[in-house]
Amino acid sequence: MNNEYIPFSSEILEVIKHTDIEYTFRLAYKGEVRPGQFFEVSLPKYGEAPISVSGIGEECVDLTIRRVGKVTNEIFEHYVGDKLRLRGPYGNGFDIEQYKGKELVVVAGGTGLSPVRGVVDYFASHPDEVESMTLIAGFKTVKDILFLEDLARWRQSIEIILTVDCGEADAVCQVGLVTEHLPKLKNRNIQNAAAIVVGPPPMMRFTCLGLLELGYLESNIWVSQERKMCCGIGKCGHCKINDVYVCVDGPVFNYTRAKHLID
C-alpha cells in the first residue's frame, strides 16, 4: 500500500531571489501538477511546511518561499545542487478551463501572487483565451514586490495594476490597497466577469466584498485559503473549517462555498 508520508528528494535547479526573505526555488519534478496546488516541503530535523506551486515547467516546479518559520529558515540555507524533500502535489488547484472566455481579474496580495502565478502566466501567454485579463497585485512596499520580471513581461499582453500600501507612485507602481483599485475595472458584461482573490484573510474578505459591490456574481469569484497543514491528505485536522478540509477540498474555493466558512 502507498505510504503518502514518505517524501522524495528533489534537487534545487535554480534559486531566484525576489526580496531578502522571498526566494523562488526551482526544483526537479516530473508529474502532473496544477497552479494553486501545494507540496509538503521538508528538511529532516526541521519539519514540513505546505508551500504552493508558483510555476510549472517541463521537468520542474517553482516554489516561492517566504522566510518566516523554522522550516523555511533552513530551506534558505540551501542552494543549487542541494536537495529538499517533497511530497504532493496536494489540493485541488485552479481549473484554467473555468476562466476561459471570461473577463478575468486576479487580485493578489503579497505572496498570494505565488499560487496564482501559473494562472496569470497562462492567460498572459494565451490572451486570446479570455475576454480580458487584469492583474491587481498589491505589496507592502516597493522592496516587497515579487516576480518583477514576470510583471514586466505580462504587461505586454494583459492589464497590470501594481500597487504598494505605502510609498510613492511612479510610472509602473501605484499607491493604495488593492481594494482601492477595484473600481478601475471596466467590465463589459458583469455576468461574465470572473475573479480570483488570493492573499491575507482581511485582504481577501474586503476584496470579495468590493467585487460583489461592483456586481460580480458570487459564483464567479474564487479564493485560495492558507491554513496550517501537517498532512495534506485530510487526516491531521489543522486545516478543517466547518465541514471542509482545506487540503483536500481546497485550497481553492468558489465564493459561494467560501463565504459560509467560519474559522
Partner 1 sequence: MGYRMDQAGINRVFNGLAKEYRLFAPKCFEYEGAFSDTDSIHYGEVQTIEEIELMKKSNHSFKDALLPISETLFYFTEDEVKVADAPAKGALLFLRSCDLHALKRLDAIYLQNGEKDFYYKRLRDKIKIVLIGCEQAFESCFCVDMNTNRSENYDLSLDTIDGEYYLNCQFREWDMLLKENALEETIVMPKHVTETVTKVHVPDNLTAAVAASTMWDEYDARCIACGRCNFSCPTCTCYTMQDIFYTDNGKVGERRRVQASCMVDGFTDVAGGGSYRKKHGQRMRFKTLHKMLDFKQRFGYQMCVGCGRCDDVCPEYISFSNIVNRLDSATQEVSKNE
- In the complex, which residues of this chain contact partner 1 (CB under 8 A)? 1-7, 9, 42, 44-49, 66, 68-69, 71-72, 200-201, 226-228, 230-231, 233-238, 240, 242-243, 245, 247-248, 260, 262-263
CB of 45 to partner 1, least distance (A): 5
Find the helix or strand (DSSP H, E) in which 195 lies. Answer: strand 193-198
Q: Between 50 and 55, whose beta carbon lies closer to partner 1?
A: 50
Q: Hey, is 109 helix, strand or coil?
A: strand
Which is closer to partner 1, CB of 82 or CB of 218? 82
Which string of DSSP letters, residue by residue, matches 35-62?
Answer: TT-EEEEEETTTEEEEEEEEEE-SSEEE
Nearest approach, Cβ of residue 49 and partner 1 (Å): 6
Nearest to partner 1 of 57, 202 (CB atom): 202
The residues, any chain, with a CB within 8 Å of residue 100's CB and separated by 6 or more, are 129, 130
C-alpha cell at 48: 514540513
Q: Give the C-alpha distances (Å, rounded to integers) separating 67 from 61, 63, 107, 195.
A: 19, 12, 23, 29
189-218: string of b/e by CB count within 10 Å (b at 16+)? eeeebbbbbbbeeebbbebbebbeeeebbe
Beta bridge partners of 176: none
CB of 117 to partner 1, least distance (A): 19
**Nearest residue (CB) to partner 1, 145 versus 247:** 247
Q: Pick between residue 155 and residue 240 the one whose CB is nearest to partner 1.
A: 240
SS3 196: strand
17 vs 45, which CB is nearer to partner 1? 45
For cell 521538508, name the residue.
42
Q: Is the Cβ of residue 87 or residue 181 nearer to partner 1 in the bound state?
A: 87
Min CB(234)–partner 1 separation in Å: 3
Instruction: Say if CB 8 and CB 85 are below 8 A apart.
Output: yes
Q: Minimum Å distance from CB 105 to partner 1? A: 25
Closest distance to partner 1 from the beta carbon of 132 (Å): 33
Cβ at position 146, least distance to partner 1 in Å? 15
Closest to 135 (Cα-Cα) out of 109, 112, 105 = 105
